[in-house]
Structure 1
Amino acid sequence: MEGTLFRFHITLLQKQLFKELVSLFGLCLGSLLSLILIGRMLQLRELFLGLDLNALDMATLFVYLSPLFLTLIIPIACMLSVFLAFLRMSTDRELVALKAGGLSLFQLLPAPLLFCLLCGLLNLYISLSGVAWGMGNFRHTIMEIANTRAKIVLQPGVFNQTVPGLTVFARTVDNSSGKLGHVLVEDNSRDETSILILAPRGQLRSDEQRGELVFILHNGKIYRQQEDSVSVLDFNDYTVRLDLGQIFKGVSLGKVKPKELSWSELRSIGPDHPEARRDSNFLRKVHVELQKRWVLPMACLVLGLFAMPLACAFQGLDKQFGILLALGMFLIYYTMLSVGLSTGESGTVPPAVGLWMPNLIFLAVGLFWLDRAERERSLNIMSFILHANLFRKKRAQ
């Protein structure tokens, strides 16, 4: 009877702990995501003003950007949730009471382990498919808006100088079909060289893969002036590309990067890929991205285990300082991960070693610290600080 009642109490405790972890996770995730999106909105303010976006367009773009941020935010929120939950329990002496009732720290593991595992699975799903979905739709939406809103494309009879050093003029513009009539393009971006392109007709298209607006001109002339000489060249078809990244600061819509690809697309890239032939670093970036898609989901479990004994060691710490402490620990983790990313892309260290090393180090430290906390041999840092402060004051008297 006593054993059944004890198991019932443990089950009830696990449920309450899991509920607290979920509520803290929702609060941390919402707060961090809001802060990042607000910061991103400030970076993209020129884009929003140029495209004349309404609230629905902005919300849609933020939804598409969210998966990329969530892959990094979810491990932070997971770590903060576990840390704050156990910090509260240790500060309120709940852990002491549970130990006095015969409950060990290891018996509290099922709820946080299940919670961290679910966070890791969510992050894994977003990493393998959600990021590619979000970035693909973000790129497509920006290009679609850029094609349909004349403010960044062309207005008939108006000289467009949105891109520095480039002037585009068309007497007639059909926004529905993209057809242009009597087109003039002046390129002064090159030093000591001026290029003037005249064409009776043209076509406006978009290249989503490269993030560019493309002007295709037909049956025109190119006037090139260099110092005191002028040369004229006839052409049948000529292409002028406008990079949206140059038009709007804060948005990068160049060639599709490995971080924008899905898991299946990354797996299909080999040495024979066209981009790998042009850029020797491209294949290394792909290998780094393949490892990263699994490292960050696993970080949820690793950082969650690390946060439990960390909270026990800082028993009595204020919640505000606790958040700063946990964020500081994650900053250390992310710094190590960034080193692994850079060394993997440069080829100095294999990606499988550089990217997984932070997880292994934090897991080893977390398990060691957890074992020490279970045997009550872990150092209570806050108590040590308080006693050291009291000792200093006594000596000063």
Structure 2
Amino acid sequence: MGIIDRYILKKYLLTFGLMLLLFVPIGIMLNLAEQIGKMIDNEAPLMEIIIYYVNFTIYIGHLLFPIFLFLAIIFFTSKMANNTEIVAILSSGVSFGRFLRPYWIGATIIAIIMFIMGMFIVPAASAGYNEFKFKYLKKKNQDRVTSNIFNQLGDRDYIYVSSFDPERQIGYNFTYEHFSEDGTLEYKISSANIRWVPADSVYRLTSYTRRNLRGDTEEVVTRRRLDTLFAFQIDDLTPVSYIGETKNLFELNEFIRVQKRKGASNVNTYIMVLYKRWALPITAFVLTIIGVAVSSAKRRGGMGANLAFGIGVAFIYIFMDKVFSTLAEQSGFPPLLAVLLPNLFFGIIGFYLLQQAKR
């Protein structure tokens, strides 16, 4: 690695670190100013608040890594261009491709950090961040779906409840259906409600009815109340909406496999979480290309114009990412395409801008 490589790489990493040190505390202060009233009203303990903001820093910081990186590249590259450093480097016989090498090295370092954090560190921070948020800052039961819940247990068992109360751990209008290997309904259990009784470690069914089907005959068993066991946890009826974010790479892969087998309707949400973790490090390279292409030439307006352009690109990127994510989660749009299209779009723009910058 030559002197120029070390010089640019040092600026790349130090400016990125400076962006984090500048903007993350601002984000913490803005969040605290907005939420302090709710924390006081809900009597959140001081230690839990401190832990919340540690998790907040990791969670939000990682989420905004690409934006901070993009602005850092534009900032220090524009400064180099205004000081005619880039002109001097290229005039000495260094090709534009060779000039980009330290940028690729820096992007690789950041991408590796983003990958490790996203797969193994951020999930734990996300769990603490979201648990505190829905415990003290949001209204109750906003962290999960509580109506018209359908789940598949194994290959032949299905359950349904019309509504679920997470605090009381009770589901209403419960139905359990078991099918034979040839797809014939063997028996069906229904009850007005199903409640988990922790003291006895059983499920309590009220207004219990069981229909056993054997060929053309039907046997009906009814009871006012029945305590029994099932091969599922009461919280499995409706896991919290952010559960995918709280699992590391291996746990998330297994969780998605189970949800697919159960026929969960919101499985695309978890798949999106997985694909975004893989795609986020790629954005380090895409935004590096665009950042260098935009800011490597000295132009009228200087650094201010480049930063304004960078902020505009960042907002467009976030908007596209949000639109495609919503399409994948709420419609039949493929999650893989939803993750790839924003990066592909900006990758093409970056390649075009890079060719223009070389000229």
How much has 1:135 moved relative to structure 2? 2.4
- Specify which of 108, 118, 121 is matched with residue 127 of structure 1: 118
Using a 3 Å threshold, how does the CA distance of structure 1 residues 273 and 368 change in structure 2: closer, same or farther?
Answer: closer
Question: CA offsets per residue over residues 17-71 of structure 1, 9 Å max, x none?
Answer: 1111122111111222223222322342234213555765433211112232123
Contact 1:302 1:363 in 2 (8 A): yes
What corresponds to 2:290 in structure 1? 306
Alignment of structure 1 residues 19-168 onto 2, 5 Å: 19-50=10-41, 52=43, 57-138=48-129
Letter aligned with residue 317 of structure 1: G
Alignment of structure 1 residues 317-332 onto 2, 5 Å: 317-332=301-316
- Specify which of 243, 247, 266 is matched with residue 257 of structure 1: 243
Q: SS in structure 1 opposite 2:296?
A: helix
- Structure showing greater Rg: 1
Letter aligned with residue 283 of structure 2: A
Hey, what's the Cα distance between the residues in 2 that align with 1:138 and 1:34? 16
- Specify which of 5, 23, 27 is matched with residue 14 of structure 1: 5
What corresponds to 2:346 in structure 1? 362
Q: SS in structure 2 opposite 1:102?
A: coil
Using a 3 Å threshold, how does the CA distance of structure 1 residues 308 and 274 change in structure 2: closer, same or farther?
Answer: closer
Question: CA offsets per residue over residues 345-370 of structure 1, 9 Å max, x none?
Answer: 12332111121111112122212221
What TM-score do you get using the length of structure 2 for normalisation? 0.66
Hey, what's the Cα distance between the residues in 1 that align with 2:338 and 2:62? 19
Hey, what's the Cα distance between the residues in 1 that align with 2:38 and 2:168? 15
How much has 1:317 moved relative to structure 2? 3.1
Contact 1:32 1:73 in 2 (8 A): no
How much has 1:137 moved relative to structure 2? 3.4
Hey, what's the Cα distance between the residues in 2 that align with 1:299 and 1:11? 26
How much has 1:211 moved relative to structure 2? 8.1
Question: CA offsets per residue over residues 81-127 of structure 1, 9 Å max, x none?
Answer: 21112211212222222222212221111211111111111111121
Using a 3 Å threshold, how does the CA distance of structure 1 residues 87 and 68 change in structure 2: closer, same or farther?
Answer: same
Hey, what's the Cα distance between the residues in 1 that align with 2:261 and 2:36? 32
Letter aligned with residue 19 of structure 1: K
Query: Relative contact order: is structure 1 or structure 2 higher (C-alpha 8 Å, sep ≥ 6)?
Result: 2
Contact 1:20 1:85 in 2 (8 A): yes
Where structure 1 has 5 or more consecutive residues not aligned to the other structure, the ranges are: 1-9, 147-161, 164-209, 219-234, 238-252, 377-397
How much has 1:327 moved relative to structure 2? 1.5
How much has 1:142 moved relative to structure 2? 8.0
- Specify which of 277, 280, 283 is matched with residue 267 of structure 2: 283
Letter aligned with residue 107 of structure 1: R
Contact 2:260 2:267 in 1 (8 A): no
Question: CA offsets per residue over residues 197-250 of structure 1, 9 Å max, x none?
Answer: xxxxxxxxxxxxx985989899xxxxxxxxxxxxxxxx9x9xxxxxxxxxxxxx
Hey, what's the Cα distance between the residues in 2 that align with 1:61 and 1:50? 17
Alignment of structure 1 residues 167-178 onto 2, 5 Å: none
How many residue pairs get aligned? The number is 273
Hey, what's the Cα distance between the residues in 1 that align with 2:17 and 2:69? 10
Using a 3 Å threshold, how does the CA distance of structure 1 residues 336 and 95 change in structure 2: closer, same or farther?
Answer: same
Q: SS in structure 1 opposite 2:14?
A: helix
Contact 2:71 2:307 in 1 (8 A): yes
Hey, what's the Cα distance between the residues in 1 that align with 2:127 and 2:65? 21
Using a 3 Å threshold, how does the CA distance of structure 1 residues 17 and 136 change in structure 2: closer, same or farther?
Answer: same
Q: SS in structure 1 opposite 2:93?
A: coil
What TM-score do you get using the length of structure 1 for normalisation? 0.60
Hey, what's the Cα distance between the residues in 2 that align with 1:29 and 1:63? 14
Contact 1:84 1:319 in 2 (8 A): yes
What corresponds to 2:323 in structure 1? 339
Contact 2:74 2:295 in 1 (8 A): yes
How much has 1:295 moved relative to structure 2? 1.5
